[in-house]
């Protein structure tokens, strides 16, 4: 076999010039034992051919809903501008990204809309044809949707009991948390599981009519969130009337 034929066979089994392996499967050759400058077919030197496959290390966010989403893919060896597809392994259907922005060799910005809730793989193929397919790395599921309206109405100051029960729906269990710091001042307790707003003395020490504005975050099992700002007012009775003389 000519030397050129031998080298061609070696390249066929290697990803990079630095991973050249012998045809018999023995240890790969390293820079230390394999010269960076390869012999030419005619016996003179060849310039090294070094092609590199892309890799994916993470995406953000890793959970999106069915609306158009923008995802940042972090990895290595991205070449402008790669093709990005996602695969639903349970159906075998591939979806193309709406747009891909090459930020640099380690970062892509991908816009995609996926209408089917599932776990997805991402495939990135550089223009040179080298590609990578991730494991299931992207979750598509429904984000919480608020059912309870923003205005919770008015309640008598010093009221004791359940003021309202907040409700948001999703395709998994929803929990509730306050993103503001208002409820404690109104002497209201939020049940993170049920969404119930309860009090033993609405308004606490306040004796004047007050409107409390606060934001509650609904979070589902996939950590998807939806915020809603609510208002609830305390009343401390009438301030007068008409005297029939």
Partner 1 sequence: MATYLTRTPNSSGSNTTWTFSCWYKKTSIGLDTVPFATGYTSPQIDEAMINIGADDQLRFNIAINDVTDVTVKSARKLRDTSGFYHIVVACDTTQATASDRIKIYFNGELETNLSNTDYPTQNQSTFFGDTNKTQEIGRQPRSSNYLFGVMSHVHFTDGTAYQASDFGQYDANGVWKIKTSPSVTYGTNGFFILKDGGSVTDQSGNGNNWTVSGGTLTDTLDCSANVFATWNSLSGSASNTYSNGNTTVSYPNNFQRNANGTLAFNSGKYYGEFKRTGAANLHIGIVGNTFLEDGRIITDTGESHTYNMRGHTGCVTLITNTGDQSIFVDGSDSSTDVDFFTSAGDIVMVAFDADTKKIWFGKNGTWSSSGNPATGANPSYTYSGTATSDFTFGADTENGSSCNANFGNGYFGTTAVASAGTNASGNGIFEYDVPTGYTALSTKGLNL
Name the residues that contact partner 1, by CB under 8 A.
Answer: 153-160, 200-202, 235-245
Q: Going by C-beta distance under 8 Å and a sequence separation of 6 or more, which residues neighbour residue 153? A: 164, 232, 233
> CB of residue 184 vs partner 1: minimum separation in angstroms?
17
Min CB(196)–partner 1 separation in Å: 17
| Cβ distance to partner 1 smaller for residue 192 or 198 | 198
Smallest distance from the beta carbon of 201 to partner 1, in angstroms? Answer: 5
- Taking the least distance from each CB to partner 1, the nearer of 86 and 197 is 197
For 169, residues 6+ apart whose C-beta sits below 8 A from its C-beta are 144, 145, 147
- Decide whether 115 or 245 has the Cβ nearer to partner 1: 245
Question: Residue 184 CB: number of other CB atoms within 10 A?
Answer: 12
* Minimum CB distance to partner 1, residue 165 (Å): 17
Which distant-in-sequence residues (6+ apart) come within 8 Å of 41 by Cβ?
A: 2, 3, 4
Q: Do 203 and 157 form a contact (C-beta atoms < 8 A)?
A: yes
Cβ distance to partner 1 smaller for residue 89 or 153: 153
**Cβ pair 20, 11 in contact under 8 A:** yes
- Select 82 or 157, whichever has its Cβ closest to partner 1: 157
At its nearest, how many Å lie between partner 1 and the CB of residue 154? Answer: 5
Phi and psi at residue 17, to the nearest 5°? -65, -25
Helix (H) or strand (E) holding 94: strand 93-96
């Amino acid at each position: 076999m000519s030397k050129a034929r031998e080298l061609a066979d070696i390249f066929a089994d290697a990803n990079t010039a630095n991973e050249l392996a012998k045809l018999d499967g023995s240890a790969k050759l390293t820079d230390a034992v394999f010269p960076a400058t390869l012999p030419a077919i005619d016996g003179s030197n060849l310039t090294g051919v070094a092609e590199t496959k892309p890799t994916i290390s993470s995406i953000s966010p890793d959970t999106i809903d069915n609306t158009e989403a923008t995802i940042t893919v972090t990895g290595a060896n991205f070449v402008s501008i790669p093709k990005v597809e996602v695969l639903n392994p349970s159906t075998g259907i591939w979806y193309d990204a709406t747009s891909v922005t090459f930020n640099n060799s380690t970062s892509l910005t991908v816009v995609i809309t996926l209408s089917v809730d599932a776990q997805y793989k991402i495939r990135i193929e550089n223009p040179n044809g080298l590609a990578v397919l991730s494991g299931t790395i992207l979750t598509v599921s429904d984000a919480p949707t608020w059912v309870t309206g923003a205005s919770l109405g008015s309640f008598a100051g010093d009221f004791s009991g359940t003021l309202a029960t907040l409700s948001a729906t999703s395709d998994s269990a929803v929990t509730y948390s306050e993103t503001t710091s208002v409820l404690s001042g109104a002497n209201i307790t939020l049940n993170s599981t049920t969404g119930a707003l309860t009090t033993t003395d609405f308004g606490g020490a306040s004796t004047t009519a007050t409107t409390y504005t606060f934001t509650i975050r609904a979070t589902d099992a996939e950590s998807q969130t939806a915020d809603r700002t609510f208002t609830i007012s305390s009343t401390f009775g009438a301030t007068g009337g008409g005297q029939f003389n």
